[in-house]
């Protein structure tokens, strides 16, 4: 319906300047946008209930107006209109405030459906300002829209009825007939009519399914064209694969899964038809850093630059150290660049990055700021990828001419979700942990057992081990710092007054964080009280206990990540989840962690219970605003991505004439995201 998107909404009968102004607040400017303003939900008007004396709360009743309205003025000037309605089983008082016209809208002796809230008062039941509709017209599902002040649901319904009349008899459907046939989708005209005014529940479901499907399909195709690293540019290949040389220098033997992943990456960047676009998925502790280091090594040896981007400063610093250690005795220069470095340090780092002295640059999102100019960047690695948005990744890629992309994630991402997040990528899975890793024993306790947990920690520390306690915090960035500090202070004063306790949280200065971390790594700090800043990547093999307060506040995948901070060395390790939330859901959720250490199972459970929020993180994910689809809708996601593949098979660049509607839908959807299309 491209033309309807160019037609101002005032073309709809009944929508004047004032209404248009209100609709604008809902971002509705055109007839097309009005039609795509789908109901939030539906009221079911097909099953009225009898008006018994016990009836209370939201209800649909079918009743006759038995008295005329009596109108009086309340103190304060408000108008009160009262009348009685009844059915075979009872009667109640109907109340409207400030509605001058109500007595002319409802006629004595006529039967209506009333939908609204019933309250019990001293004088019997009453129903305040219900919506109503004459019997014979109002059966079925009634659409309920998100509204804005001054715009009632009734008005919206009227506007939409009128807007639907503007649909041409032959609506051009962006979905080709063969796709609709294959995936059993109704045509656009039917979908539009039935999504707003369905005669039956089945019709509504069919309409919604078709619209959800279409939106996800458009999203999918759009993301593929933005994010696919498969540009028409010929990839820059590096000439020699030096990864074996690196691997032979490591103090440990790589697992087979690591070796396989390294060689898949090397294949991509030495011979691939396109620049590499690879996701490496490996559970916590599977050794992703060493894999990335091997690839970076080859790049540097061939005289190019690699960028290694991490989501937090702690992690960036740790990677910087790890890589520096790995490359000791070689001529590879590793440079760190983070936001909290002193200006002079940043300036220096940037100079080395620009003149090519730096071969491998490790940093946070500071890497993608304008000031950072690379000499000859050919590889971008992003760690814990799900913490970054689409835009950030695209920016990093734009720092070079034809950059190979390696994204690493410990959060196992269901395939369909990965597609939405990363577009058309190749996946390597590190499905094997280094030898000798022990299972982390996980237990769930309530706070009455906290002291026992403390004793346990003390016992471990006396055996030479170290421990983490993660504090109850919501999110890095919005943390009530005091609570972590207070918690630590309390422990230092009481339980653990004789032991070196450290604290680390996101609001600390980078040098302080770094100091604390290195003291912990050296074993000078025995117990580290932390916020979720340690969630990702932190690696101290001597730490064997992870205690997490208010565990119910975290996502399962996040808890799994936190737990992955222990069990990294040869000692038995433990994770203690503390929660006083006795809710069945909460307990069931947390006990998943006690019974499995398989990150995929855990992520799946998370997706089922919490939706996709955890995968995208709370950060801006850069996806366009969807009007009907929901990214946790598994079935539609996978069906529509299958359809996307069918369409790409048919016309890889979507240039076929029959896909014109799809092309313009993609443009329209992504206009809202502000993402650049190529």
In the complex, which residues of this chain contact ligand ADP (CB under 6 A)? Answer: 252-255, 258, 282, 284-290, 410, 434, 537, 539, 541, 568
For 60, phi and psi rounded to 5 degrees?
Answer: -110, 125
| 502-541 residues near Mg ion, rule: CB under 5 A | 537
Residue 286 contact among ligand ADP, Mg ion, none, beta carbon within 5 to 8 Å by kind: ligand ADP
| 150-209 residues near Mg ion, rule: CB under 5 A | none
Q: How far apart are CA 33 and CA 174, in angstroms?
A: 16
Q: What is the 3-state secondary structure (H, E, C) of 621-643?
A: CCCCCCCCCCCCCHHHHHHHHHH
Residue 416 contact among Mg ion, ligand ADP, none, beta carbon within 5 to 8 Å by kind: none
Cα–Cα distances in Å, from 187 out to 140, 206, 221, 243, 380? Answer: 22, 10, 20, 54, 44
Residue 558 contact among Mg ion, ligand ADP, none, beta carbon within 5 to 8 Å by kind: none
Cβ-based nearer residue to ligand ADP, 290 or 471 = 290
User: Closest separation between CB of residue 289 and Mg ion, Å?
Assistant: 5
Which 8-state DSSP code applies to residue 30? B
Q: How many residues bind Mg ion (CB under 5 A)?
A: 1
Q: How far apart are CA 494 and CA 453, in angstroms?
A: 15
Cβ-based nearer residue to ligand ADP, 254 or 307 = 254
| Nearest by Cα to 475 from 340, 312, 346 | 312
User: Closest separation between CB of residue 512 and Mg ion, Å?
Assistant: 23
Q: Interface with Mg ion includes 564 (CB under 5 A)?
A: no
Sorted by sequence, the CB contacts under 8 Å of residue 215 that are 6+ apart come out as: 626, 627, 628, 629, 669
Q: What is the largest CA-CA distance in the chain?
A: 96
Cβ-based nearer residue to ligand ADP, 469 or 538 = 538
**Cα dihedral across residues 540, 544, 548, 549: positive or negative:** negative
Cβ-based nearer residue to ligand ADP, 229 or 255 = 255
Cβ-based nearer residue to Mg ion, 423 or 537 = 537
Contact indicator for 374, 395 with CB cutoff of 8 Å: no
Contact indicator for 60, 20 with CB cutoff of 8 Å: no
Residue 480 contact among Mg ion, ligand ADP, none, beta carbon within 5 to 8 Å by kind: none
Residue 258 contact among Mg ion, ligand ADP, none, beta carbon within 5 to 8 Å by kind: ligand ADP
Cβ-based nearer residue to ligand ADP, 255 or 372 = 255
Cβ-based nearer residue to ligand ADP, 387 or 568 = 568
Residue 252 contact among Mg ion, ligand ADP, none, beta carbon within 5 to 8 Å by kind: ligand ADP
Residue 475 contact among Mg ion, ligand ADP, none, beta carbon within 5 to 8 Å by kind: none
Sheet with 277-282: strands ordered across = 334-337, 360-363, 305-309, 377-382, 404-409, 277-282, 426-430
Contact indicator for 418, 427 with CB cutoff of 8 Å: yes
User: Closest separation between CB of residue 610 and ligand ADP, Å?
Assistant: 22
User: Closest separation between CB of residue 340 and ligand ADP, Å?
Assistant: 22
Q: Interface with Mg ion includes 287 (CB under 5 A)?
A: no
- DSSP per-residue string spanning 533-564: GGSSS---TTEEEEEETTGGGS-HHHHHHHHT
User: Closest separation between CB of residue 589 and ligand ADP, Å?
Assistant: 23
User: Closest separation between CB of residue 250 and Mg ion, Å?
Assistant: 16
Cβ-based nearer residue to ligand ADP, 131 or 442 = 442
The SS3 call for residue 425 is: coil
User: Closest separation between CB of residue 265 and Mg ion, Å?
Assistant: 16
User: Closest separation between CB of residue 622 and ligand ADP, Å?
Assistant: 24
User: Closest separation between CB of residue 37 and ligand ADP, Å?
Assistant: 45
Cβ-based nearer residue to Mg ion, 412 or 537 = 537
Q: How far apart are CA 111 and CA 107, in angstroms?
A: 9
Contact indicator for 121, 106 with CB cutoff of 8 Å: no
Residue 118 contact among ligand ADP, Mg ion, none, beta carbon within 5 to 8 Å by kind: none
Residue 557 contact among ligand ADP, Mg ion, none, beta carbon within 5 to 8 Å by kind: none
Helices (H), 10-148: 17-25, 31-35, 102-105
User: Closest separation between CB of residue 409 and ligand ADP, Å?
Assistant: 10
Q: How far apart are CA 359 and CA 335, in angstroms?
A: 8
User: Closest separation between CB of residue 489 and Mg ion, Å?
Assistant: 31
Cβ-based nearer residue to ligand ADP, 77 or 436 = 436
Cα–Cα distances in Å, from 180 out to 168, 419, 472? Answer: 20, 22, 49
Site residues (vs Mg ion, CB under 5 A) = 537
């Amino acid at each position: 319906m491209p033309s309807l998107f160019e037609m101002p909404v005032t073309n709809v009968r009944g929508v004047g300047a004032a209404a248009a102004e209100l609709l604008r607040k809902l971002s509705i400017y055109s007839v097309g946008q009005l039609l795509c303003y789908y109901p939030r939900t539906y009221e079911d008007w097909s099953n009225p209930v009898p008006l018994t004396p016990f009836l209370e709360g939201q209800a649909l009743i079918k009743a006759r107006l038995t008295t005329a309205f009596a109108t009086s003025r309340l103190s304060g000037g408000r108008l009160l209109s009262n009348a009685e309605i009844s059915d075979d089983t009872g009667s109640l008082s109907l109340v409207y405030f400030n509605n001058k016209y109500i007595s002319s809208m409802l006629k004595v002796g006529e039967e209506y459906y009333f939908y609204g809230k019933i309250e019990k008062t001293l004088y019997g039941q009453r129903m305040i300002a219900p919506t109503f509709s004459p019997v014979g017209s109002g059966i079925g599902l009634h659409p309920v829209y998100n509204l804005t002040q001054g715009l009632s649901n009734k008005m919206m319904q009227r506007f939409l009825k009128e807007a639907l009349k503007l649909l041409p008899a032959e609506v051009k459907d962006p979905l080709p007939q063969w796709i609709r046939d294959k995936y059993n989708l109704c045509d656009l005209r039917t979908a539009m009519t039935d999504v707003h005014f369905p005669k039956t529940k089945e019709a509504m479901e069919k309409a919604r399914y078709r619209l959800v499907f279409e939106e996800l399909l458009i999203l999918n195709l759009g993301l593929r064209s933005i994010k696919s690293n498969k540009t028409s540019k010929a990839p820059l290949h590096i000439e020699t694969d030096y990864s074996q040389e690196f691997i032979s220098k490591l103090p440990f033997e790589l697992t087979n899964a690591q070796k396989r992943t390294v060689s898949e990456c090397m294949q991509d960047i030495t011979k691939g038809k396109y620049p590499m676009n690879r996701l490496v998925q490996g559970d916590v502790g599977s050794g992703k850093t060493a894999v990335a280091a091997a690839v970076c090594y080859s790049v540097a040896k061939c005289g190019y630059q690699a960028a290694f981007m991490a989501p937090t400063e702690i992690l960036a610093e740790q990677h910087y150290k790890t890589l520096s250690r790995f490359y000791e005795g070689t001529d590879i220069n590793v440079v760190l660049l983070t936001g909290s470095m002193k200006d002079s340090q940043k300036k220096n780092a940037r100079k080395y990055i620009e003149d090519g002295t730096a071969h491998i640059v490790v940093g946070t999102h500071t890497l993608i700021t304008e000031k950072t100019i690379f000499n000859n960047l050919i590889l971008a690695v992003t760690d814990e990828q799900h913490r970054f948005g689409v835009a950030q990744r695209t920016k990093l890629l734009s720092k070079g001419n034809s950059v190979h992309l390696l994204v690493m994630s410990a959060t196992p991402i269901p395939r369909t979700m990965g597609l939405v997040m990363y577009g058309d990528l190749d996946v390597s899975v590190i499905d094997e942990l280094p030898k000798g890793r022990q299972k982390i024993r996980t237990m769930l306790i309530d706070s009455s057992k906290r002291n026992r947990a403390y004793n346990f920690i003390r016992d471990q520390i006396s055996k030479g081990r170290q421990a983490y306690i993660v504090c109850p915090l919501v999110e890095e960035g919005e943390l009530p710092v005091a609570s972590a500090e207070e918690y630590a202070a309390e422990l230092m004063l009481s339980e653990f007054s004789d032991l070196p306790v450290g604290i680390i949280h996101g609001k600390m200065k980078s040098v302080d964080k770094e100091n604390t971390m290195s003291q912990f790594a050296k074993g000078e700090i025995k117990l580290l009280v932390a916020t979720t800043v340690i969630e990702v990547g932190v690696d101290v093999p001597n730490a064997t206990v992870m205690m997490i307060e208010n565990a119910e506040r975290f996502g399962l995948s996040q808890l799994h990540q936190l737990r992955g901070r222990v069990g990294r060395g040869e000692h038995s390790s433990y994770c203690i989840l503390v929660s006083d939330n006795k809710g069945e859901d909460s307990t069931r959720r947390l006990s998943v962690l006690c019974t499995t250490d398989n990150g995929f199972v855990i992520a799946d459970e998370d997706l089922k219970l919490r939706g996709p929020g955890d995968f995208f993180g709370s950060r801006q994910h850069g996806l366009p605003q969807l009007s009907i689809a929901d990214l946790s809708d598994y079935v539609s996601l996978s069906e529509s991505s299958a359809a996307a593949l069918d369409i790409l098979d048919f016309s890889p660049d979507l240039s076929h004439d029959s896909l014109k509607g799809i092309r313009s839908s993609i443009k329209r959807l992504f206009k809202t995201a502000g993402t650049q299309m190529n």
